[in-house]
Amino acid sequence: MSFYFHRFIMLFLSTLTLTGCMAVRTTRVIPEAQDNVIHDLEKELEQLNKDLYQAQKKKEDELQRLRLVQKNLSKKLSEEISKKGASVQINKRGLVIQFLAQVFFNSGSANLTKQGQDTLSKIVPILVDLQQDLRIEGHTDNEKINRSRHLFSSNWDLSAMRALTVLEHFLGCGINPERLAFAAYGEHRPLFKNTTPANRKKNRRVEVVIIPDFMKQKSFEEKTSLSEKKRKKSPSTISYEK
């Protein structure tokens, strides 16, 4: 009986040895090519983290400068602001200088009044020294054009000509044309419902938007999204040798 017992033990040990050898062969280390992919992705992640830090720092620095510009513009426009004809605020679009249309124009007109020219002259020295792009936006209420129908075919037309008039004034004051653009929205982006004369008055406006540089750059989210797509395309499973 001891003879068979010894044979059983030898057979059992032999099986363990063979199994161990197979396990060593099948659980190989990740191939060198995949090591390189992981290394590249780690380097890319490290660079993205650096880019994120730099982007956040630049954004905060620019926001600080814009807050100073906001303060200076508010001082220059203190009279208009006190009469609720203008406002200066920072929002998701940038630094927005908002004027009621009546500050610049007579009803149904796109010609700058003397008051409008004087008001713009207050802010031009500040705008000239900036590096950011400027977008002038025209807005109207929803009332159809009557008296000036021969000049403007629609509210689109009126809002466009008013924005263009302000842009041309800036050009004449020496602001770099490469920094300037205008947009017209007609009645389609009201601040308030056009249900009362007071609301319609607030909706008739011209806005000068100072666009921060960080809003024009590819966002970190876009960069990381591209990186994620690359990562998903790379091999992510361990290959085994049998």
pLDDT digits (tens, 9 = 90+) for 90-124: 999 999 999 999 999 999 999 999 999 999 999 99
pLDDT at 139: 99
pLDDT digits (tens, 9 = 90+) for 163-184: 999 999 999 999 999 999 999 9
Q: The CATH number of 50-215 is which of 1.20.1250.20, 2.40.50.100, 3.40.50.300, 3.30.1330.60?
A: 3.30.1330.60
pTM beyond 0.85: the answer is no
Identify the CA nearest to 165 among candidates 110, 121, 85.
110
pLDDT digits (tens, 9 = 90+) for 79-95: 999 999 999 999 999 99
Of 148 and 161, more confident? 161
Query: Which residue(s) pair with 100 in the sheet?
Result: 205
Sequence-distant (6+) residues with CB within 8 A of 103 are 80, 85, 86, 115, 116, 119
pLDDT at 76: 97
Average pLDDT over residues 1-13: 52
Average pLDDT over residues 16-41: 63
Computed over every residue of the chain, the mean pLDDT equals 84
pLDDT digits (tens, 9 = 90+) for 126-137: 999 999 999 999
Q: Where are the domains of the chain?
A: 50-215
pLDDT at 153: 94
Of 17 and 185, more confident? 185
pLDDT above 70 as % of the chain: 77
Contact by Cβ (8 Å): 104, 138: no
